[in-house]
């Protein structure tokens, strides 16, 4: 039995040609078990609504691997700060915004405290050297506060379709290595 992957998009969604949409499709084509959760009203997100939707998905789907992009990282942090979650195998935190983001449409998500527990056995924080929503200094500070591994992509913007990440071969390869090799507990 392969592991289950839960993909969590950020503000505005991650519809095709975004790498998350392509990743969901590629994994499903290889008979991977994927849930590409679509949060309600993703152009004007509400923190309480998204938290409830994520909690329901975690309880129903019981993922082994969770991949957050952008605002989904902040959502995971809020949930980790306020709820005890079932520990997952792997958590990918991709392109989180600043913990003090000032974008009006998503202001109720901020500021956000760095969680003490991410409820994951392994965590990889992935950021970009020129993300408009998170400076390198903030990214390095977050990495230190979380105590997790950091992978920095050079000039990758917000790591989305607009910055050339319609397909992300590295992430697909990374996931295949986690999903389709050993299934030991």
- pLDDT average per 10 residues of sequence, the chain (185 residues): 89 95 93 94 95 97 98 98 95 97 95 97 98 97 98 97 94 90 51
**In this predicted structure, what is the pLDDT of residue 52?**
97
Q: By CB neighbour count within 10 A (0-12 exposed, 13-18 middle, 19+ buried), where does 107 fall? A: exposed
Does the global pTM surpass 0.85? yes
Spacing of C-alpha 2 from chain mean position: 20
Which residue is listed with tokens 């499903």?
28
Q: How many other CB atoms are there within 10 angstroms of residue 34's CB atom? A: 23
Q: Who's near 170: CB < 8 A, 6+ residues apart? A: none
From 88, 84, 109, select the one nearest 35 (Cα to Cα).
88
**pLDDT at residue 184, rounded to an integer:** 47
Task: Write down the residue that tokens 């998503």 correspond to.
Answer: 106
pLDDT of residue 32: 86
The stretches of 32-160 forming alpha helices (DSSP H) are 47-61, 71-82, 136-146
Provide the pLDDT for residue 181.
66
What's the confidence (pLDDT) of residue 185? 44
């Amino acid at each position: 039995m392969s592991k289950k992957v839960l993909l969590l998009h950020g503000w505005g969604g991650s519809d095709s040609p975004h790498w998350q949409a392509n990743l969901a499709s590629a994994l499903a084509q290889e008979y991977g078990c994927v849930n590409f959760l679509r949060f309600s009203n993703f152009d004007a997100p509400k923190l309480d609504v998204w938290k409830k939707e994520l909690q329901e998905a975690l309880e129903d789907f019981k993922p082994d691997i969770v991949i957050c992009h952008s605002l989904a990282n902040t959502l995971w942090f809020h949930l980790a700060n306020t709820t005890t979650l079932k520990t997952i195998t792997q958590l990918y935190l991709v392109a989180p915004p600043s913990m003090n983001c000032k974008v009006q449409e998503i202001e109720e998500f901020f500021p956000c405290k760095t969680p003490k527990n991410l409820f994951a056995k392994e965590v990889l924080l992935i950021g970009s050297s020129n993300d408009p929503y998170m400076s390198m200094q903030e990214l390095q500070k977050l990495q230190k506060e979380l105590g997790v591994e950091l992978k920095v992509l050079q000039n990758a913007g917000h790591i989305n379709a607009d910055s050339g990440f319609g397909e992300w071969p590295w992430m697909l390869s990374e996931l295949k290595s986690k999903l389709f090799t050993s299934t030991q507990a």
